[in-house]
Structure 1
Amino acid sequence: MNCDEARPLVDASVDRELSAADEWRVREHLAGCAQCRRVAEDAQAISRVIRSVPYHRAPAGLAARIAAALPATDVEPETASSSPASAARGASGWREWLRSWRPRGAVATGSGYRGAEGSGGPRAATLAWFGCAVLVLCALAVTATLQMRRPAAEVAFVDDLVSSHVRAQISGRDIDVISTDRHTVKPWFNGRIDYAPPVFDLAQQGFALAGGRLDYVGRERVAVLVYHYRKHVIDVYVFPPGSNGPAVSGGAPPRASEGYALLRWEAAGMTLWAVTDAGADALDGLRAALDARLAAGASEAAGG
């Protein structure tokens, strides 16, 4: 791949929109091209800035002020439904019409109208359609609000976490120390980080220890334990004591991102984040197995 082929794919690579094959080709080119690498770094910097911008909620009275500013109108239903220009005059006219309208020939009762000519008709159909549209818009607004409540920093951290996992799998360098022996993997981290991650081989529970590596997430150097579950890889990122993982809010962490399952929990005084494409059930099983081993180890230490 040359520069002309790589440049158009840089933005897609930053946004994780490339296939595994194209991502590998782009990264291979960037490794040997300083000019394209600077372009990629600039794109990554812009992406981080955009994701870190705080979300500003609209003032509480904004909707009321907009509705009050719309011109009032006494448009008849027939005119409003037949003329697009009249229908666009304002929401206040629709509200007045809805309050004053009743089916032709109907008599008001405590629960509605009775005796309307042809109980349905175009007016009733229009009103029903309008009500459905309002409900759909309300549902969309609620969904959008819930999504926007996730802090931008948390979104950026989860993105970095998933990117680290994917990058390791694509590069083929997902393990720095290859061993199923915890007494080999755990000492390997000595001197490379200032804490000792809890390392156990959980092969009997279906999660075989494959090794470990060092990685950077949220500009923090962390230990990563690599487990194999069937034909899947599970990366367990171990953050040091007192760390909740960079930029993580107090709310419930996401369970999935971009097709990858995630799980966050506390163990041995540390914060663990697990990422895999095997599904959430696999992460729940890994957590249960690891917590059981930690509990057994604590009991043995207390008994000894």
Structure 2
Amino acid sequence: MNDLDCKTCDELIHGYLDHELDAATRARVAGHLAGCAECARRYEQARQLIDDVKNRAPYYRAPEALNLSLLGAAPERSSAMAGFMQGLRALSGRWWAPAFSTLALSLAVMLYVVTPSAEQPWLDEAVSSHVRSLMAEHLNDVVSSDRHTVKPWFTGKLDFAPPVFDYAAQGYPLLGGRLDYLQHQTAAALAYRHAKHTINLFILPTAEADRARESLSLRGYNVVSWRRDHLRFILVSDLEKGELEGFGQLIEKGG
């Protein structure tokens, strides 16, 4: 029986088109598409759009100098922006500076938008892991609302000790925990419930500096992330954004 729902299928359609799903998930999506006319229609629309872009969109080859310039600049936004600004200052006294400034500013904005932040891969994988945990009914390896049961379970399975708290009194009961894997790194995943919403909290060590909480919406889910005390925290849920941010604040306080 294929119990994949339409919302989850819609989230996975682009991964299905791009051959990014594992074999089991791909088979479940294919099975759902075979039996759901509406999802099959959306899949066909997405496939047709990709074909149209490939076959009909005009293609203009960029000058080699521009290619080399952008490729060299892409890894670091700050250096790219600094380079553009330095060029603008050098050209500011010339009569054609306004036109060049407009072009340079457009390229700078484009570079800033299309260059993903260093945090993005973590968030993408966290959302994918959240979806998989709901699809495969593998939300927890240890099922317990007692943090004194869940926390020791991770001992010997991780090279760090994830903080585990139960927030049942605040309306966020602990459901359990499991091992997960983000960006080639083993992570602790804690599951919580709020009303009818499942929340995944991913915790893993990091050498990066602390970073304040940030929120965004990604593939239909709300995500709250931060770094603190050499740990990376990522919350993922379909819970309303403000409530998820409030839960993140609660976790930061440690109860």
TM-score, reference length from structure 2: 0.58
Select the residue among 229, 232, 237 that pairs with 1:276: 237
Q: Which residue of 1 aligns with 2:28?
A: 24
Q: Aligned partners of 2:212, 2:181: CA distance in 1, in Å? A: 23
**Partner residue of 1:288 out of 245, 249, 254:** 249
AA aligned opposite 1:14:
E
Residues 26-52 of structure 1, C-alpha deviation per residue, up to 9 Å, x if partnerless?
599xxxxxxxxxxxxxxxxxxxxxxxx
- What CA distance in whole angstroms lies between the structure 2 residues aligned with 1:141 and 1:269? 36
1:232 equivalent in structure 2: 197
Structure 1 alignment gaps of length 5 or more: 1-8, 29-52, 69-91, 96-134, 295-304
2:148 aligns with one of 183, 189, 194? 183
Structure 1 residue ranges (4+ consecutive) displaced by more than 6 angstroms after TM superposition: 137-142, 248-252
Cα distance, 1:202 vs structure 2: 0.4
Question: Per the alignment, do residues 267 and 27 of structure 1 end up closer, same or farther by CA in structure 2, a change over 3 Å counting?
Answer: farther
The 5 Å alignment of 1:205-244 reads 205-240=170-205, 242-244=206-208
Counterpart of 2:20, as a letter, is V
1:115-169 superposed Cα distances (whole Å, 9 cap, x missing partner):
xxxxxxxxxxxxxxxxxxxx9x999767634423433x53333221211111111
Report SS of the residue matched to 1:14: coil
2:119 aligned counterpart, secondary structure = helix
The aligned amino acid for 2:113 is Q
Taking a change above 3 Å as real, the CA distance of residues 224 and 142 of structure 1, as seen in their structure-2 partners, is same
Q: Counterpart in 2 of 1:150?
A: 116
Contact 2:142 2:177 in 1 (8 A): yes
Q: Within 5 Å, which residues of 2 pair with 1:35-54?
A: none
Greater mean deviation of Cα atoms: 214-223 or 169-178: 169-178
Aligned length: 190
Superposition TM-score, scaled by structure 1 size: 0.50
Of 257, 265, 276, 2:218 maps to 257
> Shift of the alpha carbon at 1:251?
9.3
Question: How far, CA to CA, are the matches of 2:157 and 2:217 in structure 1?
Answer: 30
CA distance in 2, matches of 1:275, 1:156: 14
Could you tell me how far apart the structure 1 residues matched to 2:215 and 2:254 are?
26
Task: Report the counterpart of residue 55 of structure 1 in structure 2.
Answer: 74
Task: Report the alpha carbon displacement of residue 266 of structure 1 after superposing the two structures with TM.
Answer: 3.9
SS in 2 for 1:186: helix
Change (3 A) 1:230 1:261: same
CA contact (8 A) 2:187 2:204 kept: yes
Q: For residues 64-106 of structure 1, what are the alpha-carbon distances to aligned partners after superposition, in whole Å with 9 as ceiling and x for unaligned?
A: 99xx9xxxxxxxxxxxxxxxxxxxxxxx8xx9xxxxxxxxxxx
Unaligned runs of 5+ in 2: 1-14, 33-71
1:287–1:10 distance in 2 versus 1, CA, 3 Å:
closer
1: distance between equivalents of 2:254 and 2:116?
34
1:140 to 1:219, Cα distance in 2 relative to 1, 3 A: same
* C-alpha spacing 1:225/1:285, structure 2 compared with 1 (3 Å): same
- What are the residue-to-residue correspondences of 1:4-19 with 2, within 5 Å? 10-14=16-20
Q: Give the whole-Å Cα distance in 1 for the aligned partners of 2:145 and 2:190.
A: 11
Q: Percent identity?
A: 31
Q: Secondary structure at the match of 2:202?
A: strand
Post-superposition offset of 1:55: 2.2
Mapped pair 1:162 → 2:181: no
Distance 2:241 2:112 in 1: 22
User: Are 1:174 and 1:213, in contact at CA under 8 Å, matched by a contact in 2?
Assistant: yes
Q: State the 1:235 CA deviation.
A: 0.8
Using the TM superposition, give the Cα deviation of residue 256 of structure 1 relative to its aligned residue in structure 2, in angstroms.
2.2
